Amino acid sequence: MDTSEGQAYVEAMNFALAFAKANRFAMMDTIKHIIGESIDSVTFGEIINIHHNYAAVENHYGKHVVVHRKGATSAKAVQTGIIPGSQGTPSFIVRGKGNPESFMSCSHGAGRKLARKQAIRSLNLEKEIKLLDDAGIIHAVHTQKNLDEAAGAYKDIDTVMKNQEDLVEIIEKLIPLAVIKG
């Protein structure tokens, strides 16, 4: 961290995080505008903005350490976060419990059981389409290459959430209505 290379890495990562945040806010503003044009007197609650896949200098166990959250997100006490599901599976709004044993972290999703290329090669396209169709989810899964993010490529999100009850409290379980991927 105290080398020029380390400082350059931190600067580049912070730039990428700021860009990602600006992108999320631009998408939220667009969606809020579209919904506002369609629904009279709509109001929006708290904006949930949380990074995943990043590193940060934090104090844990009385020491300043670098916490690299890959496949994880911050779950500090009372911090609101989102744990997204895959195509066709629920997402969760959560409140962190600040568990020191996890460095105040939790998962940022179910986690893959199949790598992207493996999912494309091995998942059954018709089965994955049927799962989405039967759930009434609007989607754009039409070809084998769309299967890299299919529900079948991921671990069971409900099991993952059960396994991290000591890290987060579930505030809301969100059932998908549509999948937008591009």
pLDDT tens for each residue of 28-68 = 999 999 999 999 889 998 889 888 888 999 999 999 999 99
Residue ranges of the chain with per-residue pLDDT less than 50? none
In a domain, 77, yes or no: yes
**For the chain, what is the domain count?**
2
Examine the domain organization and report whether 16 and 68 are in the same domain. Answer: no
Examine the domain organization and report whether 41 and 52 are in the same domain. Answer: no
Q: Is 108 a catalytic residue?
A: yes
- Give residue 157's domain range: 48-174
Examine the domain organization and report whether 68 and 145 are in the same domain. Answer: yes
Examine the domain organization and report whether 23 and 101 are in the same domain. Answer: no
Examine the domain organization and report whether 72 and 133 are in the same domain. Answer: yes
Examine the domain organization and report whether 79 and 16 are in the same domain. Answer: no
CB neighbourhood size of 181 (10 A):
10
In a domain, 159, yes or no: yes
pLDDT (0 to 100) of residue 182 = 62
Examine the domain organization and report whether 52 and 134 are in the same domain. Answer: yes
- Side by side, which strands form the sheet with 105-107? 52-60, 63-74, 105-107
Q: How far apart are CA 95 and CA 106, in angstroms?
A: 10
Taking the whole predicted model, whether its pTM rises above 0.85 is answered as yes
In a domain, 180, yes or no: no
- Which residue's entry shows tokens 């079948």? 152
Catalytic residue chosen out of the listed positions 33, 51, 108, 139: 108
Q: How far apart are CA 33 and CA 102, in angstroms?
A: 38
pLDDT (0 to 100) of residue 2 = 87
pLDDT (0 to 100) of residue 180 = 79
The residue among 106, 113, 115, 103 whose CA lies nearest residue 161 is 106
